[in-house]
A = this chain, B = another copy of it.
């Protein structure tokens, strides 16, 4: 990490950070970037910034991994990357009805803007904005995407509206958390078969799909949309992927009870909770409330004293990062850089 930039002013030790504080171990982050670049080098991966929402982390990925084309879930992420000079090829892998903001992005002279479309309405918005499009195809996840059988017709409509149809995208989100690798592979293959058919109907071009949980199952997909591999979380860590858990939450023990528990200063406002409770080494999580988590030491140990710093691993990285304004990049206990989470909101 030290090679990237000079050390910045600020806390030099994680113990000096105001808690709760998001901490990213730099060596793990860089190992994750390298492991992904080996499988999916530049042009074969479009890192998804929704997982980390930081232009400085995006820039680090582009320098270290060579990946300069990014994937976004929101217009705010698109606008932030563009303003940071990272707009070489930005994909809004999501539908939008906001022609004004999309059009303002297209009119920048330092960006290439592509947007997913899955309906006549979203084609009209792309047309009004002048953005390139990918036809978004339902490949099994009950969310966005046109039926595979409708992809060709939608592409024709887009072309009639003067749009450049770059190809198709299809997110196989229903497969990415399947624990059994063989079953996951079969489900991905089935989804990509649907996507390939849609691409043919569209008239060829790019296929964009995938996620961290399926990153190495996409030999015939042009570009994979993965983001969680960079920071990881306890949900993905259980799947045997070649990525290390780089993100944790530094917290402080603020209370200890003679009844055997202790309380740390993180909770529902600093942790995405949809995947369940976070994890803490040597402790079990009793429950989380707004700004507290009650912990029980395992195996009858005494809880740590008030003032102790602990590390909490969130169950789901994306909605966790979205609660925070800073990512502290560390080398062990040294804070070597602090990056704003500057792509939050919409």
Contacts and interface: CB of A to CB of B under 8 A. Distances in A.
Interface stretch (A59-67, A197-205, A217-225, A256-264): A256-264
Contacts of A337: none
Contact of A273 (B118, B173, B273, B286): B273
Contacts of A121: 305-307
Interface in A15-51: 18-20, 50
A293 to B, nearest CB: 9
A345 interface: yes
A150 B265 CA distance: 23
A268 B271 CA distance: 11
Interface in A69-113: 73-74, 94-98, 101
Given A20-B346, A119-B256, A138-B257, 9 more contacts: A94-B291, A97-B254, A121-B307, A142-B257, A272-B273, A273-B274, A274-B288, A290-B318, A324-B345
A281 B294 CA distance: 35
Given A288-B274, A290-B318, A323-B322, A307 B97 contact: yes
A107 to B, nearest CB: 19
A143 B73 contact: no
Nearest to A171: B289
A213 B147 CA distance: 47
Nearest to A73: B291
B274 A143 contact: no
Contacts of A306: 95, 97, 119, 121-122
A255 B116 CA distance: 11
A325 interface: yes
Contact of A268 (B145, B288, B316, B346): B316
Contacts of A50: 290-291
A147 B288 contact: no
Interface of A: 18-20, 50, 73-74, 94-98, 101, 118-119, 121-122, 138, 142-145, 147, 150, 173, 252, 254-259, 261, 263, 265, 268-270, 272-274, 286-292, 294, 305-307, 316, 318-319, 322-325, 344-346
A242 B299 CA distance: 46
Q: Considering the complex of A and B, which 9 residue pairs feature the smallest CB-CB distances, nearest first? A: A95-B254, A121-B306, A144-B255, A268-B319, A269-B322, A273-B274, A73-B291, A119-B306, A268-B274
Given A18-B98, A97-B254, A269-B318, A142 B291 contact: no
Given A147-B258, A306-B119, A307-B97, A142 B286 contact: yes
Contacts of A307: 97, 121
B272 A268 contact: yes
Contacts of A286: 142
A103 B307 CA distance: 17
Contact of A319 (B20, B265, B287, B290): B290
13 contacts: A19-B346, A73-B291, A94-B265, A121-B305, A138-B257, A138-B259, A142-B259, A142-B294, A143-B294, A268-B318, A269-B272, A273-B273, A274-B288
A108 B184 CA distance: 59
A89 B19 CA distance: 25
A119 B263 CA distance: 12
A139 to B, nearest CB: 12
